[in-house]
Structure 1
């Protein structure tokens, strides 16, 4: 420990006032660099030794067995920390098993505080200085052992590690609940919409009529693709009209509340773009083909989208879910034009066929049911975003 470099965190638990002291990671934690077994000894037999070669063998901060080996080279014990030493450098996880470690990882015997500290080091880009400029991004034993860290006394380490571990548990819980809801929705999309036989496998009680085949263009009151200003004139993009692009829809969770780009009235008038009203469905025809979202704002869009305005929101919501099913089942792939970039065109979107209920009460029941699932998924996502932001703040303020 080096008293001359003692420091204090911005945020800490009541009752702690001692300075944190600087040291090297290798001085406080045993580090074992991995060594890959011969590939001829790899197996898919769970009775053999679990092999951890890199980040692909970890998920959500935990080792997930993927490959096994009959050859033991270097090992990590149950409870050890696993650090990725090759691209992506610095990812950190734990192992709940005794495992063989390959050259893409290192095993570290450390407590929860060290685990959270290593997470922070990845977040702040600590390892970047060692891997930048390399042909192959990696860190070595010397760099890991000599990594400079700051530590409090053991009791404070335990307190900090415990609160951050609790937050990780809450994040994992919400992620799993969100995944379960998404899997449930995916299964129900397959069961609650009719295929060519005209009858869904699962439906609400009291409905038995055959569904009818409808063309998408017959369901909305206005539709059309967008457009892009005819030049890169700065004035065309220096405006307050939201302008939807592919990056917006790929990051959305089914709803567009804002956009990365905006255009001016002059930009709008110099293109085929038009103001698509709030509540419309926008469907990607290029790049992320089939990805769609409901606009929660008035916005113009690029020509990469086909936009649909409905006067019946129950019908809109049902169509939205049916198009989600089309996206999940890659139904659009049968219609795309192949070239330098796979894409749809407006005619193929308008002529897309689907089976829908004749009875509006059934339409409303199904659309409301899926909306409740979407709302539950969105709630878990909001909680996740909040927890992750809080955790990020704690990692910034509770460490030196």
Structure 2
């Protein structure tokens, strides 16, 4: 068992120490207050609920950056006085529906609030000081969490107990300065992730607003927001009026290796991502024999692939020739700007899905798709709208990729910067 991490800050060479959790921390009292007894309104006591640990909070919780639920009944103020949490305390979720049980948060800043550990949590306080954030990050690594896996009990709901986690091991550098370097590194990564996440979410809201306001509302012929110089009414038409040809798809026999790993792109509905209209990650290719001996068809570039079975409402623009599974109908030889039609049709399909929300939508037929009613402007305005939305999509994709890169970096470093 290694006593040193793979990646280390310069100047640190000593072996790390290993101690049982029970030798390093003591447990605090948690409460059993349900979510129904909590409120997002301001209050005197704030609650760390296990559900928020599992899906909302990062490893290091700064109370000034999050809206914590308050306990409605003030009588609890006196009951939990001895269990108010402090900076440096760790709170673990002891219950989950999967193996995420054991996820922790360390309170790095309580902002002078009265905070208690809530339902299905194990709060703990170190006997001696660790660098801010070190335990929060370490106890969320696979290195530590893998120790919890054999301790978990239950089938539908998984849980761990206080008694069993006392025997798990914590590894740490004795030099608190090294602990601080490690924790500060991950805090900086989390800060960057938060910044890009906010920019990404802001751009998504802007795009949603533009899709709502740069296209006419139902029954209207002019949008709310327009580029300068355009005043004419938009024209109503059926999708069939602006599509020159349609293509279906199929799947070559997966048991015949000769049909696969060729140079012809082949897509299926699982390749498409909701809202990403111009970014297709083609994972499979078929051969010429696969094309000849199946129902799939070669579709010309500058077409729109529309999902018509599982994943109705998703579509993607394909600038090059491709083939598809039977999950798609592809629209080709378009009589309008292809990018504009992508946005207009996506918006229309999303509107229709919203109208029947709650119903089981198993698919859409070619006939139903082609009679969809759209309103479109003249080509110059189509191009302006498409260019603006494409530029926005480009920014969204950039921030999304930065986010994914930072998250991968964090995951890798969590596995390599701890012994």
TM-score (norm. length: structure 2): 0.82
Alignment of 1:249-398 (within 5 A): 249-250=272-273, 253-295=276-318, 298-310=321-333, 315-329=337-351, 331-332=352-353, 342-358=362-378, 360-398=379-417
**Alpha-carbon offset, residue 293 of structure 1:** 1.9
- Distance (Å, rounded) in 2 between the aligned partners of 1:39 and 1:353: 45
8 Å CA contact 2:84, 2:115 repeated in 1: yes
8 Å CA contact 1:43, 1:69 repeated in 2: yes
Q: Is residue 13 of structure 2 the alignment partner of residue 17 of structure 1?
A: yes
Q: Is residue 60 of structure 2 the alignment partner of residue 65 of structure 1?
A: no
The 1:234–1:149 alpha-carbon spacing in structure 2 relative to 1, beyond 3 Å, is farther
**Alpha-carbon offset, residue 171 of structure 1:** 0.7
- Distance (Å, rounded) in 2 between the aligned partners of 1:55 and 1:38: 11
* Count of aligned positions: 390
Alignment of 1:126-205 (within 5 A): 126-131=147-152, 134-152=155-173, 153-195=175-217, 196-205=219-228
Q: Report the aligned-residue RMSD.
A: 3.1
**Alpha-carbon offset, residue 77 of structure 1:** 2.4
- Distance (Å, rounded) in 1 between the aligned partners of 2:343 and 2:35: 46
8 Å CA contact 1:84, 1:91 repeated in 2: yes
Could you tell me which residue of structure 2 aligns to residue 89 of structure 1? 101
The 1:158–1:281 alpha-carbon spacing in structure 2 relative to 1, beyond 3 Å, is same
Alignment of 1:228-239 (within 5 A): 228-229=251-252, 231-235=253-257, 238-239=260-261
Q: Deviations over 1:297-336 (max 9, x none)?
A: 5432111112123557x8111111223323443x146589
Could you tell me which residue of structure 1 aligns to residue 85 of structure 2? 77
The 1:390–1:311 alpha-carbon spacing in structure 2 relative to 1, beyond 3 Å, is same
- Distance (Å, rounded) in 1 between the aligned partners of 2:135 and 2:18: 14
- With 10-19 and 215-224 compared, the bigger mean Cα shift is at 215-224
- Distance (Å, rounded) in 2 between the aligned partners of 1:176 and 1:140: 36
Secondary structure at the counterpart of residue 220 of structure 2: coil
- With 294-303 and 206-215 compared, the bigger mean Cα shift is at 294-303
Q: Deviations over 1:345-394 (max 9, x none)?
A: 11111121111112x22111111111111011111112112212222221
**Alpha-carbon offset, residue 78 of structure 1:** 5.8
8 Å CA contact 1:53, 1:102 repeated in 2: yes
**Alpha-carbon offset, residue 43 of structure 1:** 5.3
Gaps of 5+ in 2: none
**Alpha-carbon offset, residue 20 of structure 1:** 0.6
- Distance (Å, rounded) in 1 between the aligned partners of 2:284 and 2:201: 31
Q: Deviations over 1:177-228 (max 9, x none)?
A: 0000001110111011012210101111121111111222322333233222
8 Å CA contact 1:228, 1:302 repeated in 2: yes
8 Å CA contact 1:54, 1:105 repeated in 2: yes
Gaps of 5+ in 1: none
Q: Deviations over 1:90-133 (max 9, x none)?
A: 33345555433333223344631111112213896443332277
Could you tell me which residue of structure 2 aligns to residue 244 of structure 1? 267
Q: Is residue 32 of structure 2 the alignment partner of residue 36 of structure 1?
A: yes
- Distance (Å, rounded) in 1 between the aligned partners of 2:70 and 2:309: 37
The 1:30–1:310 alpha-carbon spacing in structure 2 relative to 1, beyond 3 Å, is farther
TM-score (norm. length: structure 1): 0.85
- Distance (Å, rounded) in 2 between the aligned partners of 1:298 and 1:145: 60
Secondary structure at the counterpart of residue 243 of structure 2: coil
8 Å CA contact 1:43, 1:68 repeated in 2: yes
Secondary structure at the counterpart of residue 367 of structure 1: helix
8 Å CA contact 1:282, 1:294 repeated in 2: yes
